Amino acid sequence: MGGGRFEGEDDMEDGDGERKSRMLHMFCKTLTASDTSTHGGFSVPRRAAEDCFPPLDYQQIRPSQELVAKDLHGAKWRFRHIYRGQPRRHLLTTGWSSFVNKKKLVSGDAVLFLRGDDGELRLGVRRAIQLKNEALLKAFNSNSSKIHTLSAVANSLKHRSVFHICYNPRAAASEFIVPYWKFLKSLNRPFCIGMRFKIQYGSEDVNERRSGMITGINEVDPIRWTGSKWKSLQVGISVDCIKHLGLSNSERHYLRPALQYFR
């Protein structure tokens, strides 16, 4: 439940002023055919534009501004941000087609914009196409490769040096790297069966909170990681909430009257 937040989590974070001051404003959008058209622009969701981009002067007849965003390679990209149309919407026009062509973006790829408290705008790209070189993937997943990788990580931990992590974000929707402070906080926050929680989810313009209850606590992998501090929480929320979330039949496990259980 990637979007869920347990009651009291805000209190945990508010205690560290430094982390709170580093709040990031970001959004990620999967590109449509219109977004990647050579004659079109990039349609930005209203809430995303208002949260991530500098404010527009809506007193103008055609509110617009120039945005400068830096990618992961340090290259700067300039876009024209305009608010127009019927109904009006936020668009990136001038500069967007050049970015699409240079990055070879296609429908299904995703673009992420991020702005920190310093006001600097950054952007990144997530490709929709999987790696086609299966031989390379098999070689990476071989036992010898795994042993070498684990050995390198263990050596880096021993000497407190930097090490690299390869991660395929399409293998799971959960966070792969958890901040150390959050892990330590979780050790002091025990979870038990019967404990209630709140989950927040929503779309572009609607955010809702629903309540649920922890119904089971299991090992993530009892065979390989017996006794691990990482646990899998089994939770129950109302059937109406499940329908609102839009879960498919394949995602509905352990059906019980009035409650729906899943991991």
pLDDT tens by residue, 123-170:
999 888 654 444 555 555 555 556 666 778 788 888 888 877 766 655
Lowest mean pLDDT among 126-130, 174-178, 182-186, 217-221: 174-178
Query: What local confidence, expressed as pLDDT, does residue 50 receive?
Result: 92
* CA–CA dist 246, 242 (Å, integer): 6
Q: Return the top range by mean pLDDT from 12-16, 147-151, 183-187.
A: 183-187
Global confidence as pTM: 0.46
**For the chain, how far is it from start to end, CA to CA, in angstroms?**
7
* 24-126 fold: At1g16640 B3 domain (2.40.330)
Query: What local confidence, expressed as pLDDT, does residue 10 receive?
Result: 47
Q: Is the dihedral of CA 238, 240, 244, 250 positive or negative?
A: positive
Q: What is the DSSP string of 148-188?
A: HHHHHHHHHHHTT--------TTS-SS-SS--HHHHHHHHT
Average pLDDT over residues 230-244: 68
